[in-house]
Structure 1
Amino acid sequence: MYRLLPLCFLSCLSIAAPAAAQTSHDEALWVNGTVMGRIEGSVVFFAEVQPRIGDGVSRLSQLLLRPAVGVELSKAVTLYQGYARVIDPVENGPDLREDRLFQQLTWNVGKIGRLEVQSRTRLEERWRSDGDGMSLRARQMMRFEYPLAAGVKRVAALGSVEGFVGFKSAEWGGVTGFDQVRTFVGLEIPLPGTSTIEAGYLNQTRDASGSRVSMVHAAALTLFVRL
């Protein structure tokens, strides 16, 4: 029996090796600038611009512009309606353009000891310039924040995981079923007022054509300006 163990180990390696070879990797820099504040009463807003530099941090691979208006249903829950314009630059041809409508529910779940937990649920209706039809996708993110010092203005450790699931594809693409998962680890650093910077590592793992997996390793930097 023990003589079979090396053979089993080699067999497992031979099976795993092709799967590993089907995963493509890219290094990127994702930068996000977000302004948020109150319009009047319980009506709030946010607006963000997010350039993503990919292909080994060599060129602009995507640009997102995403504003939204929301209503605070309680101190912990806010419901948003938003729009996003997504631009994918193409070297030899017209840029790909995507229009999204999205609905978002943000819930400050509460604390587990000193650990702060937040949930963000988003539903996206997507149209793209290179084909007809609407693609429908849901996103669920759980965010965890742990203060590393006492007080309101303190450095905190951050972690988040977000899963993407497609409900409807379109002529231009989109998926049904699992789309991608994003994980983030980093730090939240306070700025004057209530603004903050978040910096860390983001991993994006998604399905690609031909039973392949595409993985992005991104340095992520986000500025939140709270008015």
Structure 2
Amino acid sequence: MRNLISSLALPALLSAAPAAADEDIQGWTGVVAQGAVKGDLYVWLEGQARFTDDIGQLGQFILRPAAGVRFAPDASAIAGYAYVQTRSSAGAITREHRPWQQVQFALVRNGAGKPVVTSRTRLEQRMVEGRNRTGWRLRQFVRAGVPISRSGVQAVVFSEGFFNLNSTDFGARSGVDQWRNFVGLGLPVGKKARLEPGYLNQRVFRPGEDRTNHVLNATLFVTL
């Protein structure tokens, strides 16, 4: 398991290592409520607020509901819609409508049968107001959470790659779009919630200089 954690954390070190000229310090907050309700009906409810420009303004707001089916313990297939509003540093506002589909399941479980490593594959169709082309993007996410205390505190790492499947008139280029890597803690908050604060490194790949965002990230996860 130690080797697995090291392999997941390696991309974070690589993405944080060489300095990109364009950098920003940001603060991201979010709430994700998910779980099976009424049998195997699976629901996902998510809201995010991202503060950009050295945490000086609300740069992005996301609402992301979805529903689907739990087809095995710790495995689900869902589809949903995301509304994304982004404000640039110059004040311009972009609104995006994003249908999405996702499969999530446990890759590794511990001796008690609880997930230790989770995989999430998501496909998005990005539609930006005022633009004509729909951008197709694939996201692959892998998370590992290892208990480090008897109280349920976990060491958490995750890595997520974003891959554009086509180019668009709103600036998306076919190929690797960005990579996110996170290192932090999982803190139990009651019986059905946990808070995961930590550091997230976001590398956005662009023509010329890439962009690196250093993010203070905290997400509250609630089990329905």
Instruction: Please give the TM-score of this superposition, normalised by the length of structure 2.
Output: 0.85
Aligned partner of 1:61 in structure 2 is 59
Aligned partner of 1:212 in structure 2 is 209
Residue by residue over 1:156-196, the C-alpha shift from the partner in whole angstroms, topping out at 9 and shown as x without a partner, is 00000001111112211212011111000000000112211
RMSD value, Cα: 2.0
Q: Which runs of 5+ in 1 are unaligned?
A: 1-19
**Counterparts in 2 of 1:201 and 1:91: CA distance versus 1, 3 Å:** closer
CA distance in 2, matches of 1:165, 1:96: 21
CA distance in 1, matches of 2:149, 2:19: 43
Instruction: Please give the TM-score of this superposition, normalised by the length of structure 1.
Output: 0.84
- Identity level (%): 34
Aligned partner of 1:12 in structure 2 is none
Aligned 8 A contact 1:76 1:109 in 2: no
Give the letter for the 1:136 counterpart: W
**Which of structures 1 and 2 has the larger relative contact order (alpha carbons within 8 angstroms, sep 6+)?**
2
CA distance in 2, matches of 1:174, 1:161: 21
Residue by residue over 1:63-104, the C-alpha shift from the partner in whole angstroms, topping out at 9 and shown as x without a partner, is 111001020111132101011000012577762100101110
1:1-227 superposed matches below 5 A: 23-90=21-88, 95-111=93-109, 116-150=116-150, 154-208=152-206, 210-227=207-224
| Count of residues paired in the alignment | 205
Per the TM alignment, residue 226 of structure 1 is displaced from its structure 2 partner at its CA by 1.9
**Counterparts in 2 of 1:58 and 1:93: CA distance versus 1, 3 Å:** closer
Aligned 8 A contact 1:110 1:116 in 2: yes
**Counterparts in 2 of 1:165 and 1:157: CA distance versus 1, 3 Å:** same
